[in-house]
A = this chain, B = another copy of it.
Amino acid sequence: VRIERDLLEKNNAVAKANRERARANRLSIFNLIGGPGAGKTALLEATIPRLGKRWGVSVLEGDQSTDNDARRIKEAGCTAFQINTGTGCHLDATMVANGLSELRPREGTIVFVENVGNLVCPALFDLGERAKIVVMSVTEGEDKPLKYPHIFRAAELFVLTKLDLQPLVALDEERCIGFARQVNPKIRTLRVSSRTGQGMDDFIAWIGETAAKATVMSETTP
């Protein structure tokens, strides 16, 4: 337990430095967390062309192995850098610090960090992000917020994805969202289909507003 605490303390110190760096460069960093196949990369693929009109966007991709996701993001017309964690189960603040040095995002832009596909461990690690976003698909079952409460407590936004598959699976959306609010009464929830575009306007609006706030904050905060 003490070892884990030391590790987290060291991570938090680097996360704090990342946050200061983001403020200095007016970057809005969003940390996307969800299980494998939750639809994180597809959500980014749908987001990039929609945000790109107004915002500069770049992406840090986390995976145990392969650069498949960075390639998908680049094909969507966006700068991306892939971090491979090997046996590691999450991104930590140092990986993100190094990733930012490779990515070199322009001032006043948005950086998405797509964490390793894991609904569990990434919840514990602050990366210096503006907000954690938990991503879960309708195929995963409505009780997931109760079974994995830590990530739903840590996140500001819950994006329920693959809405186009909803008619085919048994998931009760209202119950699922109710469970998320039960563990985190302040969580915002959006329902999207990256495939059909349903709900994407709301997601883009949330990202834009939250990023704008971060920019204003960094302009007024010393």
> When chains A and B are docked, how far (Å) is the Cα of A143 from the Cα of B64?
12
The listed residue (B35, B66, B140) touching A119 by CB distance below 8 A is: B35
The listed residue (B89, B144, B150, B165) touching A36 by CB distance below 8 A is: B144
Identical subunits present: 2
Which residues from chain B contact A116 at a C-beta distance below 8 Å? 120
User: Which residue on chain B has the smallest CB distance to residue A4?
Assistant: B87
Q: Given A148-B36, A150-B87, is A139 in contact with B165 using a C-beta cutoff of 8 Å?
A: yes
Would B64 and A120 count as touching, CB distance under 8 A? yes
User: Which residue on chain B has the smallest CB distance to residue A87?
Assistant: B150
The listed residue (B65, B68, B137, B146) touching A37 by CB distance below 8 A is: B137
User: Which residue on chain B has the smallest CB distance to residue A121?
Assistant: B89
> When chains A and B are docked, how far (Å) is the Cα of A64 from the Cα of B168?
28
Which residues from chain B contact A146 at a C-beta distance below 8 Å? 65-66, 68
Would A147 and B66 count as touching, CB distance under 8 A? yes
Would B63 and A147 count as touching, CB distance under 8 A? yes
Would A64 and B149 count as touching, CB distance under 8 A? yes
A19 close to B (CB within 8 Å): no
A141 close to B (CB within 8 Å): yes
> When chains A and B are docked, how far (Å) is the Cα of A146 from the Cα of B148?
25
| Nearest CB of B to A195, in Å | 9
> When chains A and B are docked, how far (Å) is the Cα of A61 from the Cα of B17?
40
- Given contacts A64-B147, A116-B120, A165-B165, could you give 7 more A-B pairs where the C-beta distance is less than 8 Å? A36-B140, A37-B139, A69-B147, A87-B123, A89-B121, A117-B144, A137-B139
Q: Could you show 14 A-B contacts with beta carbons less than 8 Å apart?
A: A35-B119, A36-B144, A36-B147, A64-B120, A64-B147, A64-B148, A65-B148, A65-B149, A87-B123, A117-B120, A117-B147, A118-B119, A165-B165, A165-B169
Which of A's residues lie within 8 Å of B, judged by CB? 3, 35-37, 63-66, 68-69, 87, 89, 116-121, 123-124, 136-137, 139-141, 143-144, 146-150, 162, 165, 168-169
Q: Which 5 A-B pairs have the closest CB atoms?
A: A37-B140, A35-B35, A89-B120, A35-B36, A139-B139
